[in-house]
Structure 1
Amino acid sequence: MSEWISAKLGDFLKIHHGFAFPGESMNDGLTGKPIIVSIGNFNYSGGFRFDSTRIREFRGEYPKEFELSPGDLLVVMTCQTSGGEILGIPGVIPNDGRVYLHNQRIGRVECDEERLSRKFAYYLFLTAEVNRQLFSTASGTKILHTSPTRIEQVECRIPPVREQARIAEVLGVLDEKIAVDARIGKVTQELLSRLFASRVWDYSREGAMPTGFVQGSVQDLCERIGNGGTPKRRNPQYWEGGDIAWYKTGELLDGPLLGSAERITVTGVRESSCSVWPAGTVLVALYASPTVGRLGILDEPAAFNQACSGLIAKSAFGELVLFESIKATRDRLQSLAVGSAQQNISQRVLAQHRIVVPTAEAAASFREVAEPLHRRRIIAAMEARVLAGLRDTILPQLMSGRLRVKDAEKIVEDAT
């Protein structure tokens, strides 16, 4: 610890503003043009989530100095909540063959690499202490803004470069394992969808109905369909100390739902229009573009808000058949959304959405292969959640010097 120094971030790095790309040249369709990096693309625990958030291309002319390179470190400079929770959240541009553009309200971090490792800087921006200082100096009330100057004025303790590398390596091992688990989840979901497509006729195609399937609708697969509710946010009895999982549309990412960001109390459920639904319930987002039609499967009893619909599958089919039936025809379901400011579909439209209904034998054949894959992705997701919790526990201790690197290496080795 004697070699750690107290300094301002500006002594080690420089923050660069992004460019205000004109909205008329942005487009949601992906044709290979450069992609605008937006605040919504950041994972709020660090990193990017391009695969599960809205991506927009830029199809106009732009200054080439705002074209990003793989490995560039970016940080969030605007937060739309009064608590400033995401100010300073970092992300690293991936090396995936796509071109990304440096948007306004996002800072690009240029490190003096001889004194501050970019990988260490990434984890430094994840610390609560950096966020606290950015929040305390931010401007605005409902929407908070920081700036390159304010970021550079943040004070922190910096170890020697060699120790920075060791700290980043320890935390990087956990992040790499979390990323592997995420890829397992993504691959198993793709396998499930391909398996379903190979056994179930695509209703959008013309042709004869395959053996073992009949023309039908979502409600033909369901024992029960119902919407969520909206408990009052300002009533602390509804939220403080809650032990019932509570889901919103943004948490539906086309996979198992293994842990909600919020919990609601029994009182909150009882005194509102929502109810507790059992594990195995399929959730469908009814509105809030771009989440319309996104899906999730409850892994525990839970409640959810009015923007979601809950579907319990008939036992002859099971939740995986129901889930994949809707997912396979989601493009057509989304085309039925109405509204200008906010696209939405009604519960009635969802229930009457046209799909093909398998016989009990065809459903059993699919489930025999699908259920082991579903369990595998649940295991991977649960492992990733445990490792993320471990990373979040040791990160502040490592970044402050309270935990020695060799002790952290042993902890990570035991966990992985």
Structure 2
Amino acid sequence: MTEWRTYQVGDIAQVFDGPHATPKKTKEGPWFLSISSLDRGRLDLSESAHVSEEEFVRWTRRVIPESGDILFSYETRLGDAALMPGGIRACLGRRMGILRPKRDVVIPEFLLFAYLAPSFQETIRSRKIHGATVDRIPLVDLPKWPIRIPELAEQRDIAAVLGALNDKIAVNDRVITASIDVCQALYASISKAAIETSELGSVIDLRYGKSLPSVKRKQGSVPVYGSGGIAGSHDEILVPGPGVIVGRKGTVGAIYWSQESFFPIDTTFYVSLKRSEIPMEYMYFALQDLKLERMNSDSAVPGLNRTNALATRLRVPATHEASTFVNRVRPLFELKHQRDQESLTLAALRETLLPQLMSGKLRVRAAERIVEDAV
């Protein structure tokens, strides 16, 4: 094990930030990298927008993100970062910065993990500026902040161990995306072919979730759903799974799928089938198709108007078509769930190994054996 040295950030990387404005978004063109593009150390473009070629020229006058750059947020979601991959044309959004590694001192993959390590996260917490509305990293001071790194050979070893976990998670993400795409295409086909239309309220009921304050939750494995998605866990099941959850207050009309039995709280509805021949999987896509987020009945506190929602009309597939659909998509839903759970386990292992490797408490060879067993 080589000796670790303390550097200043500016000794090992250049610091850049993006424009202090927001361009007009488009549905195609170069990617617009925003805070939503960062997902706990990984780049996630699923919620990212695009910009036109004209806007791209304007928004890259300061810097063009390159392969190997470390993307980070310097306002609001402090501490999150991601590695910029190759083959992507993109510009930085507001509140986004870049660390461009000096590769004779640090490799990009290791710099990402060093940034995410508890020691540097504590540096961010202790040196951030508390603003009136949001906290921020002072970019003028960031190059002077301390960061510990070993020699290049050990950096490569550590990055390979942790990177193997990220690679497996990335594979799972691709499998999940492909599964969802297939299910979406099958739904589109069966829905388009459906002859019958019916009011939503004759096919399902939207039942109210139940109040469950955080202080009353007990440690358990049952996912708790609010209007923004999973909001914790509990030891009691309210609704047997699989099932569909609909945002009622807050994130109006948001649609979530739970493969497991779950506990929806009082900011949500959950779906109860009235017609057993219509599978829950079909309703998951059908409800997304209905754009329920447009049915906001309360301007002060957003809320889904249940009566209006149940009065909307939807296409209902024939019984044999519904049966064919569910036989094809149900295994894909289960596959998606399995890969989701595996990725959560791998991410937890990565978060466990990261501080131990970065502090020197765990040797690389021991970590390699742990990762080999996991992947």
TM-score interval w.r.t. the shorter chain?
A: 0.7 to 0.9
Deviation at 1:143, TM superposition (A): 2.1
Task: Give the 3 Å change call, closer, same or farther, for CA 349–180 of structure 1 in structure 2.
Answer: farther
Task: Give the 3 Å change call, closer, same or farther, for CA 12–240 of structure 1 in structure 2.
Answer: farther
CA distance in 2, matches of 1:112, 1:132: 23
CA distance in 2, matches of 1:249, 1:163: 45
Counterpart contact for 2:6–2:149, Cα < 8 Å: yes
Counterpart contact for 1:74–1:90, Cα < 8 Å: yes
Percentage of pairs with the same residue: 24
User: Are positions 1:303 and 2:263 aligned together?
Assistant: yes
What TM-score, normalized to structure 2? 0.86
What is the DSSP-based 3-state SS (H/G/I as helix, E as strand, rest coil) of the residue aligned with 1:68? coil
| Number of residue pairs matched by the alignment | 370
**Partner residue of 1:322?**
283
Q: Work out which of the residue numbers 333, 337, 343 in structure 2 matches 1:374.
A: 333
Deviation at 1:342, TM superposition (A): 8.4
Q: Work out which of the residue numbers 210, 226, 251 in structure 1 matches 2:207.
A: 226
User: Are positions 1:75 and 2:72 aligned together?
Assistant: yes
CA distance in 2, matches of 1:68, 1:340: 40
What TM-score, normalized to structure 1? 0.79
Deviation at 1:119, TM superposition (A): 0.9
Deviation at 1:30, TM superposition (A): 0.9
- Listed one character per residue, the Cα deviations across residues 344-382 of structure 1 (whole Å, up to 9, x for unaligned) are 642233322321123433322221222112211112112
Counterpart contact for 1:72–1:92, Cα < 8 Å: yes
Task: Give the 3 Å change call, closer, same or farther, for CA 65–287 of structure 1 in structure 2.
Answer: farther
CA distance in 2, matches of 1:57, 1:293: 27
Task: Give the 3 Å change call, closer, same or farther, for CA 67–13 of structure 1 in structure 2.
Answer: closer
**Partner residue of 1:215?**
197
- Listed one character per residue, the Cα deviations across residues 260-283 of structure 1 (whole Å, up to 9, x for unaligned) are 4523577xxxxxxxx933222201
Residue correspondence of structure 1 range 14-413 to structure 2 within 5 A: 14-21=14-21, 23=22, 25-27=23-25, 29-32=26-29, 34-43=30-39, 45-51=40-46, 53=47, 55=49, 57=51, 60=55, 61-79=58-76, 86-95=77-86, 97=88, 99-140=89-130, 143-201=134-192, 210=194, 213-222=195-204, 224-228=205-209, 237-239=215-217, 241=219, 244-251=222-229, 260-263=230-233, 276-286=238-248, 293-314=253-274, 315-327=276-288, 329-330=289-290, 332-334=291-293, 345-413=304-372
Choose 296-305 or 362-371, whichever is displaced more: 296-305
Deviation at 1:336, TM superposition (A): 5.0
CA distance in 2, matches of 1:56, 1:342: 31
CA distance in 2, matches of 1:171, 1:217: 51
Deviation at 1:161, TM superposition (A): 0.5
CA distance in 1, matches of 2:48, 2:249: 15
Task: Give the 3 Å change call, closer, same or farther, for CA 382–265 of structure 1 in structure 2.
Answer: closer
Counterpart contact for 1:278–1:298, Cα < 8 Å: no
Choose 366-375 or 5-14, whichever is displaced more: 5-14
Deviation at 1:229, TM superposition (A): 5.7
CA distance in 1, matches of 2:92, 2:167: 25
- Listed one character per residue, the Cα deviations across residues 57-116 of structure 1 (whole Å, up to 9, x for unaligned) are 36644452333234422111112xxxxxx422111234454x321233222102211111
Counterpart contact for 1:5–1:157, Cα < 8 Å: yes
User: What residue identity is the alignment partner of 1:48?
Assistant: L
What is the DSSP-based 3-state SS (H/G/I as helix, E as strand, rest coil) of the residue aligned with 1:282? strand
Counterpart contact for 2:297–2:305, Cα < 8 Å: no
Deviation at 1:322, TM superposition (A): 1.2
- Listed one character per residue, the Cα deviations across residues 234-284 of structure 1 (whole Å, up to 9, x for unaligned) are xxx335757652223443xxxxxxxx4523577xxxxxxxx9332222012
CA distance in 2, matches of 1:227, 1:150: 50
